[in-house]
Amino acid sequence: GAGVSQSPRYKVAKRGQDVALRCDPISGHVSLFWYQQALGQGPEFLTYFQNEAQLDKSGLPSDRFFAERPEGSVSTLKIQRTQQEDSAVYLCASSLQGSLSETQYFGPGTRLLVL
Amino acid sequence: GQQLNQSPQSMFIQEGEDVSMNCTSSSIFNTWLWYKQDPGEGPVLLIALYKAGELTSNGRLTAQFGITRKDSFLNISASIPSDVGIYFCAGRPSGTYKYIFGTGTRLKVLA
């Protein structure tokens, strides 16, 4: 596709509900990143995939957060038993090859509100 | 989580003025990126810097990778109303794939 797409764009969840956020990276991009952006803050790294391998998940805030990319393209970020502090924009980014000089291109984000 | 120090936090300027913002880190970075984010959208890449001392331009934008590898600045010349938005710096520590973002500079341009 022309760019990184994310769905849904908006999600309202009741506290305790599970949610799944989807990311479609740019076609052919090897690397995929998930970030969390709280209101008024910069994005914060959550996790990184190279193809289907999750190489870094050091930014996931708790074991309620889980990400997967089973076929090396589409990725899903799942949040179990959502809490109010999970309310944020979740951004996905992809890059072409995954080398250390590659730059990332972001999707529009999913805005999650937990009530 | 860790975020880079970015200044100023916000600024109001007149159309046509030049703008300068910077980003500092306590750690050495191998890559610096500058992004612009409009409300309701994801960040859009403006300039990428890969070498210490590198100076790169993109239209009215100029950015530099500090020689200490701990800072970067972004200049916007002759600002126009569509420059309004939030500008983020992002740096990548050596040997990692993840980027650490700054706290953002909110720019408002007065016509």
Mean predicted lDDT score pLDDT of chain A: 93
Cα–Cα distance between B2 and A49 in angstroms, integer? 21
Residue A1 clears pLDDT 80, i.e. is over it: no
Per the CB < 8 Å rule, is A42 touching B1?
no
Half-sphere exposure of A97 (CA within 13 A, CB side): 4
Cα–Cα distance between A23 and A69 in angstroms, integer? 9
Residue A55 clears pLDDT 70, i.e. is over it: yes
Mutation target among B23, B94, B98, B101 for the A interface, most CBs of A within 10 A: B98
> For B8-62, what is each residue's pLDDT tens digit?
999 998 999 999 999 999 889 988 999 999 988 999 999 999 899 999 999 999 9
> For B52-102, what is each residue's pLDDT tens digit?
999 999 999 999 999 999 999 999 999 999 999 999 999 988 888 788 999
Least confident of A11-20, A93-102, B10-19: A93-102
List the structure tokens of B93. Answer: 């520590």
Nearest Cβ partner for B43 among A44, A55, A106: A106
Residue B110 clears pLDDT 90, i.e. is over it: no
Chain-centre distance of CA B22, in angstroms? 7
List the structure tokens of A55. Answer: 């190489």
Residue A100 clears pLDDT 70, i.e. is over it: no
- The answer to whether A87 and A79 are in contact (CB under 8 A) is no
Tell me what pLDDT residue A98 has.
Answer: 61
Tell me what pLDDT residue A103 has.
Answer: 74
Residues of A with CB under 8 A from a CB of B: 4, 31, 33, 35, 40-45, 48, 50, 55-56, 58-59, 91, 93, 98, 100-101, 103-109
Tell me what pLDDT residue B56 has.
Answer: 94
* DSSP characters over chain B: ---BEEE-SEEEEETT--EEEEEE-SS-EEEEEEEEE-TTS--EEEEEE-STT-EEEETTEEEEE-TTSSEEEEEE-S--GGG-EEEEEEEEETT-S--EEB--EEEEEE-
A30's CB contacts (< 8 A; 6+ apart) are A50, A51, A72, A95, A96, A97, A98
Tell me what pLDDT residue B2 has.
Answer: 72
Mutation target among B94, B99, B100, B103 for the A interface, most CBs of A within 10 A: B99
* Shortest distance, CA A16 to any CA of chain B (angstroms): 24
Residue position matching structure tokens 């880079």 = B4
Cα–Cα distance between B53 and B50 in angstroms, integer? 9
Residue A101 clears pLDDT 90, i.e. is over it: no
CB contacts under 8 A, B 12-41 vs A, are 30-31, 33, 35, 40-41
Tell me what pLDDT residue B96 has.
Answer: 82
Cα–Cα distance between B54 and B19 in angstroms, integer? 19
Per the CB < 8 Å rule, is A98 touching B97?
yes
Tell me what pLDDT residue B15 has.
Answer: 93
